[in-house]
């Protein structure tokens, strides 16, 4: 099931549009935080 916003646009389209709007630096920061978070969660288990 595709999640949709009130205007009918698929959520994935919203996210990718937002992502491409981000600066390269912010993309790197978000990816870095995600990788570190996943790694830390893996250690915690």
- CB under 8 Å, gap of 24 or more: what pairs does 20-23 form? none
Report the length, in residues, of the chain.
Answer: 45
Task: Please give the pLDDT value at position 44.
Answer: 79
Task: Please give the pLDDT value at position 4.
Answer: 58
Task: Please give the pLDDT value at position 7.
Answer: 65
Structural tokens at position 44: 């915690």
The whole-model pTM stands at: 0.49
Residues 6+ apart with CB under 8 A from 27: 19
Mean pLDDT of successive 10-residue stretches along the chain, which has 45 residues? 62 83 89 94 82
Task: Please give the pLDDT value at position 22.
Answer: 86
Task: Please give the pLDDT value at position 6.
Answer: 65
Taking the C-alpha atoms of residue 26 and residue 29, their distance in angstroms, rounded to an integer, is 5
Taking the C-alpha atoms of residue 10 and residue 36, their distance in angstroms, rounded to an integer, is 29
């Amino acid at each position: 099931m595709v999640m949709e916003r009130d205007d009918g646009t698929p959520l994935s389209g919203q996210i990718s549009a937002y992502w491409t709007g981000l600066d390269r630096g912010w993309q790197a920061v978000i990816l870095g935080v995600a990788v570190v978070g996943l790694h830390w969660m893996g250690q915690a288990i």
